[in-house]
Amino acid sequence: MSRIAKRFADLQREGRKAFVSYVMAGDPDYDRSLAVLTGLPEAGVDVIELGLPFTDPMADGETIQLAGQRALASGQTLERTLEMVRDFRTRDEATPIVLMGYYNPIYSRGVARFLHEAKTAGIDGLIIVDLPPEEDEELCLPALEAGIDFIRLATPTTDDKRLPRVLENTSGFVYYVSITGITGAAAASAADVGPEVARIKASTDLPVVVGFGIRTPEVAREIAGVADGCVVGSAIVAEIGQGKPPEDVLAFVRSLAEGAHNA
């Protein structure tokens, strides 16, 4: 059983919802980023999404774009991101890590080489936002063969005709994007999200977690209450962007996690 599957099975047995956090690797620099990363499990994070910085993050809003720029300026690369995961794994063998980003850096490294290095480093899943299901042979199918989950995004515009194609090779969990547009663009609404989550769950046995537009413990609790969990990214990245020390960032993360776990 993969780390992701085990974590969701454990949460289901405990009757708890998942709290998933996103941070950008290398933001604002390697050491502070690693300090936040290694503190996330103790702060209540069940699954970590680790952003891979890229020069053209088309799905991301200003907050995460700036985080990527800070990371790149500090010298963060794909190699250093894998190194960060290896560092994390010396401390934590249980918490799932999902690498989230864009295909270009992976393509440049070579898919076979990347997948071997990612698996060896301790990456459990991938979210690659610019590879649609029609391109599954590029990375999705090789990743699954390598034992790495490939997590797909479903959105408010994923209709009943499109949904089966989106779910076809998805594993780990389904990430439902609660709003149309880029990250950090609007607030999520449980009233809008609930029916969409139910529609997706009618077509898959995978957990469905909801991200985009969640900024407070109250909203985390509301959204987790209608899904299998919630994802917070931009709100956490904004705390880092304000120059707050890792302990303050992790205190904020803890408040969000408590909100989701109290759903």
56: annotated active-site residue: no
Closest by Cα among 116, 117, 75, 126 to 96: 126
Give the type of residue at 179: I
**Residues making up the chain, counted from first to last:** 263
The dihedral formed by the CA atoms of 16, 247, 219 and 26, expressed in degrees to the nearest 10:
-100
Q: Which of 46, 60, 196, 222 is catalytic?
A: 60
Which residues make beta-bridge pairs with 153?
Answer: 175
If residue 75 lies in a helix (H) or strand (E), which one and from where to where?
A: none
83: annotated active-site residue: no
Which residues make beta-bridge pairs with 50?
Answer: 23, 99
Specify the pairing of strand 18-24 against strand 229-232.
parallel
Q: Which of 27, 49, 149, 196 is catalytic?
A: 49
List, by residue number, the catalytic residues: 49, 60
